Amino acid sequence: MSAPSTTSITLPTPADPATPKGTAMYTLDKVGKTYRQSSRIVTALKDVSLTIPAGQMVAIQGPTGGGKSTLLQMLGALDRPTSGDVRLGDDVLSKLPDRKLAKLRAKEIGFVFQGFNLIPTLTAQENVETALEPQGVPAEERRRRASDALAQVGLAERAGHVPSELSGGQQQRVAIARALVKEPDVLLADEPTGNLDEQTRDEIMDLLEGLWRDRGLTLVIVTHDSAVAKRAERRLRIAGGSVQEI
Amino acid sequence: MFLTYLRRELAGRRRQTLIVAIGMALAIALVMIVNALSGGVRDAQASVLESVYGVGTDITVTQAPTGPGEGGPGGGRFEFGAEDGETDDAEGSTTVSDSRLTTGMGTATFDDTALDTALSTEGVADAAAALSLSNTTFSGELPDFSQLQGGGGAPGEAGAEAPPTGGADGAGGSAFDVDSFTVLGIDPAASALGPLSSAAVTEGRGLEAADAGADVALLDSAYATTAELAVGDTIDVGGTTMEIVGLVTADTADASTGANVYLPLDTAQALAGLEGQVSTVYVQAASSTDITAVQASLEEALPEATVNTQEDLASSVSGSLSSASTLVSSLGLWLSVAVLAAAFLIAVLFTVSGVTRRTREFGTLKAIGWSNRRVVGQVAGESLVQGLIGGALGIVIGLVGIGAITLIQPTLSGSAGSVQAFGGGEAPAAAAEAADRMGLTGDGGPFAAATTTSDIVLTAPVTVSVVLVAVGLAVLGGLVAGAIGGWRASRLRPAEALRSVA
């Protein structure tokens, strides 16, 4: 059972990206984040100011505990900053209520995780469909779009398999299909190749890069891997809560 | 999606689903069986009470008996009329035969205007009065007491050494029979209410309005068999010969009717010298919801009387039926509550542990846009279905258990104080129990008049309410577990949920 080659994948261009290429997709203004750990306060982000234009592919590198995942969570509307503002287009994420953040995540942001984070009891097809559930997409359309998304990542014939029946690379492809099936403006990937061997890593990165190019996505990848980071248009290094351009 | 996800989750962790469902099923089955048994015991109690009070009686009005020494008709002293006997001087014996009709022990009579008062009370649909009596026939030989008194004296005195003579054994002894049976004077025109409403005429005819004041009697068929009497025969009641016009049998199998002999009320009153007196008024309320209000009105209108509802009277049923009732209502209830609480706890613990185990899953779902409500709904839905599976399984186990009880057909003995014994509250019930313990139920002995014993086959009826209780508990168990598990899931912050995995 070998992973299909990305060369055979056709990637349709999404219609009219919500944010025109070049305009600011993300604007971070003096974003700070602190956590309380027992009795001490840990600073994860320190006055981070940053702009990520729409359609840019950005790699964030840095040591463990440097604040990479925290920054990604801020961008993904999964957490709120302790200070400063995070803007996604015109929305100030730090000021939106939980319900609105959930809606935003449902529509505009796609996530890919290091551990794939697929629902173990659902098939690949059903896992992809979970991303359309919050939008209230009718069942028939949901099934069609999920099938198309799986076909786009080269897993049409594995649609009925549960994650335990798929290889790591295949699982990550399902996760990518799940992230892209809702046609988001932003794709956030947290160590997407961290659990994969070198060959599979390259295949997944080919896939992500292809999707980014063809769809005009804003792609933010957190990675330890310099080979992955080198593929990005822009590289940032975060250490001690501060961000620097590389 | 909701149903697919739910189905896959429950199928994916079969062991947990099975443990929760079985726990819930056992608890629900136990509740069903206890509930059904409770219904069966209630039916049995009602059956025993019906044999005494008849069908449709909601309330009885009686009067507490007067204490010893306070007099009143039919007190505790029994006069067997030795002075009226025939003395045979040659044998030194007195032959006596006397039949007395009196109110039984623990029974008091009161003015029959209470019937009119009851009928005029608001909320009363119907009422009937009865007079409960006991007929005791004493026959035998006694020694010539005058002879004994004349020859008596302290030991050592002259004449004290003369042995007693006469009597049944020629040595001053006595031999006599005491035959006792219960008599109930009833309104011959009112058969719809009172003790005979739960009895059927199996031979001859019943009492009719035209029988008022007539010397006619109905006999309980069981008593007639024992006393070897039949329709057309006569029976001596209070020294008057009554023609037996019919036999009655209790509707309930194995139960005897409330008395051995039934007479027209005015005939019974005249024979007992209790004109215008009754011992019980049977009252039927217009609506079952009015019983408490009617009871209160009657207590106000008849301040001297004791007013009991069927519920009050149920506590006076004794015997193994009473033990079963106590067992079901106390041990059964608490066992059900304990098992149910344990099942709910297991369901809650498994659900909460499932949510903890699925932290990453729920964090991911929230990250891809699932709202809190949707995640909580998923957890609650899974718990609810788990509960319903347990409920369905519980209903099957419960029905099997109930079926087993029906198959075994346990027989319980229920003793209820007859019309004579009731009315005094605690004391007559105690008397009935004492009589039961002493084996004096039935037709013999002075306590015989105080109890009616029935052998009742205990059933465990499956009613809609029993099934509804089971379904309700299954839903409740699922909802409780789902609510707690859902609450835990709703508190998961997506960032923390994902971070906990990293």
**Whether pLDDT at A193 is above 80:** yes
Give percent of chain A above pLDDT 90: 55
Is the Cα dihedral B406, B412, B417, B423 positive or negative? Answer: negative
Distance in Å, alpha carbon of B370 to nearest chain A alpha carbon:
5
What's the confidence (pLDDT) of residue B407? 87
Tell me the pLDDT tens digit for each residue of B188-221.
877 667 777 777 888 998 888 888 888 999 998 8
Predicted ipTM of the assembly: 0.88
* Size of chain A in residues: 246
Query: Using CB atoms and an 8 Å cut-off, which of residues 193-232 of chain A contact chain B?
Result: none
Who among A114, A131, A139 is closest to B368 (CB)?
A131
Under DSSP, the state recorded for B113 is H
Size of interface A-B (CB pairs under 8 A): 88
Task: Assign A222 a pLDDT band (cuts: 50, 70, 90).
Answer: very high
Q: What is the three-state SS of B335-379?
A: HHHHHHHHHHHHHHHHHHHHHHHCHHHHHHHHHCCCCHHHHHHHH
What's the confidence (pLDDT) of residue B88? 58
What's the confidence (pLDDT) of residue B151? 47
What's the confidence (pLDDT) of residue A6? 39
Who among A76, A106, A126 is closest to B4 (CB)?
A126
What's the confidence (pLDDT) of residue A165? 95
What's the confidence (pLDDT) of residue B324? 67
Under DSSP, the state recorded for B383 is H
Cβ-Cβ contacts under 8 Å for B303 (sequence gap 6 or more): none
- Residue B7 CA to residue B282 CA, distance in Å, equals 60
Class of the A13-245 domain? alpha beta
The segments of chain B whose pLDDT lies below 50 read 69-76, 150-156, 158-159, 418-450, 501-502
Tell me the pLDDT tens digit for each residue of A72-118.
999 999 989 999 999 998 899 988 998 899 999 999 999 998 888 99
What's the confidence (pLDDT) of residue B443? 39
Inter-chain CB proximity A129 and B1 less than 8 Å: yes
What's the confidence (pLDDT) of residue A86? 93
Inter-chain CB proximity B11 and A121 less than 8 Å: yes
A245 vs B42 pLDDT, higher one? A245
What's the confidence (pLDDT) of residue A159? 93
Distance in Å, alpha carbon of A169 to nearest chain B alpha carbon:
19
Per-domain residue ranges of chain A: 13-245
Q: Could you tell me which chain A residue has the CA closest to the CA of B12? A: A121
What's the confidence (pLDDT) of residue B364? 92
Who among A76, A119, A122 is closest to B367 (CB)?
A76
What's the confidence (pLDDT) of residue B71? 43
What's the confidence (pLDDT) of residue A148? 93
The answer to which of A6-20, A176-190, B64-78, B182-196 has the lowest mean pLDDT is: A6-20
Distance in Å, alpha carbon of B5 to nearest chain A alpha carbon:
7
The pTM for the full model equals 0.62
What's the confidence (pLDDT) of residue A57? 94
Inter-chain CB proximity A139 and B1 less than 8 Å: yes
Inter-chain CB proximity A179 and B367 less than 8 Å: no
Please report, for chain A, how many H helices and E strands are present, in that order. Answer: 7, 10
Nearest to B250 by CA among B180, B208, B206, B201: B201
Strands of A22-181 (E only): list them.
24-37, 40-53, 57-61, 83-88, 91-92, 109-112
Q: Is residue B486 exposed (0-12), middle (13-18) or buried (19+ Cβ within 10 Å)?
A: buried
B112-123 in b/e burial notation, b at 16+ Cβ within 10 A?
A: bebbebbeebeb
B369 interaction partners in chain A (CB closer than 8 Å)? 102-107, 131, 134-135, 182
What's the confidence (pLDDT) of residue B316? 61
Q: Could you tell me which chain B residue has the CA closest to the CA of A180? A: B368
